[in-house]
Amino acid sequence: SQKIEQNSEALNIQEGKTATLTCNYTNYSPAYLQWYRQDPGRGPVFLLLIRENEKEKRKERLKVTFDTTLKQSLFHITASQPADSATYLCAPYGGAGGSYIPTFGRGTSLIVHP
Amino acid sequence: EPEVTQTPSHQVTQMGQEVILRCVPISNHLYFYWYRQILGQKVEFLVSFYNNEISEKSEIFDDQFSVERPDGSNFTLKIRSTKLEDSAMYFCASSEAPIPDYGYTFGSGTRLTVV
């Protein structure tokens, strides 16, 4: 069955550093992958969408990569700030035989220390 | 900025009772979704809705659940005969397209507590 893995351990980094979060998926080949931010008790907030034919996507301090060979997406936040502290969710979907409804990983908690 | 509105923010209900969770999607969006998140767990897909009918549903969305768009603005999730394990945050989301460049817009959720 389709499986999405995000690091369950919280990532602790110092302000100003680059945070890198990983999303691995197995048993399918999604054509799209979304990243969301979720704050405690709130709904997910969309950040970026990357397509299988795009190796990299950027938006301000955010960068997402999509390696269909490794079945992995990396999410980077450069010059991180304490306000970036949240849980980050990846949601792959689409592709041959896949649903076009995003399926969320468990998320990785990011804590940025001042 | 347009937002998805969910009411109530918190609902407490007795086991076996019916609850209706309400959502007002973004006005020009055509695709609507319900997700749920049990405390400490991942966000899980329940159902998608387009053109006044269910387009996809998960295994979680059994006969206990139903959705409806009773008018041009509201989108509701009904849970019949609630169980303790239905306690969760329920999120409504909407999008302008099935594969939207701007992702799904989620509401702030309804926290359902079944006692």
Q: B59 and chain A: CB distance < 8 Å anywhere? A: no
Predicted confidence band at A1 (pLDDT cuts at 50, 70, 90)?
Answer: confident
Cis previous bond, B2, omega within 30: no
Q: B102 and chain A: CB distance < 8 Å anywhere? A: yes
Distance of CA B37 to the CA centre of its chain: 11
Q: Per-residue confidence of chain B (115 residues) as pLDDT tens digits?
A: 889 999 999 999 999 999 999 999 999 999 999 999 999 999 999 999 999 999 999 999 999 999 999 887 899 999 999 999 999 999 999 999 887 778 899 999 999 999 9
Structural contact between residues A48 and A92, judged by C-beta atoms closer than 8 angstroms = no
Please state, in angstroms and rounded to a whole number, the distance separating the CA atoms of residues B110 and B43.
13
One-letter amino acid of B26: I
- At B83 the pLDDT is 97
For residue B50, what are its two tokens?
């387009």
Residue A97: is its pLDDT beyond 80? no
Q: Please name the residue of chain B whose CA is at the shortest distance from the CA of residue A44.
A: B106
**Chain B positions in Cβ-Cβ contact with residue A46 (cut-off 8 Å):** 102-105
Q: Please name the residue of chain B whose CA is at the shortest distance from the CA of residue A46.
A: B103
Q: Give the number of other Cβ atoms within 10 Å of residue A39's Cβ.
A: 11
Q: Which positions ≥6 away from B15 have C-beta within 8 Å?
A: B82, B83, B84, B114, B115
CB-nearest partner of B99 from A32, A36, A44: A32
**Chain B positions in Cβ-Cβ contact with residue A36 (cut-off 8 Å):** 103
Nearest chain A Cα distance for residue B18, angstroms: 24
For residue A68, what are its two tokens?
């269909």
User: DSSP characters for chain B?
Assistant: ----EEE-SEEEE-TT--EEEEEE--TT--EEEEEEE-TTS-EEEEEEEETTEEEEE-TT--TTEEEE--SSS-EEEEESS--GGG-EEEEEEEESSSS-TT-PEE---EEEEE-
Q: What is the per-residue pLDDT across A30-76, written as a single tens digit (0 to 9) for each?
A: 999 999 999 999 999 999 999 999 989 999 999 999 999 999 999 99
Nearest chain A Cα distance for residue B93, angstroms: 9
Provide the 3-class DSSP secondary structure of residue A82.
helix
**Chain A positions in Cβ-Cβ contact with residue B109 (cut-off 8 Å):** 41-43
Q: B16 and chain A: CB distance < 8 Å anywhere? A: no
Would you put residue B64 in left (φ > 0), alpha (ψ -120 to 50) or beta? alpha
Q: Give the number of other Cβ atoms within 10 Å of residue A108's Cβ.
A: 21
- Helix and strand numbers, DSSP H then E, in chain A: 0, 10
Nearest chain B Cα distance for residue A82, angstroms: 22
> Helix, strand, coil shares of chain A as percentages rounded to 5?
5, 55, 45
- At B24 the pLDDT is 97
Which helix H or strand E contains A49, and what residues bound it? strand A45-51
Please state, in angstroms and rounded to a whole number, the distance separating the CA atoms of residues A31 and A18.
27
Q: B2 and chain A: CB distance < 8 Å anywhere? A: no
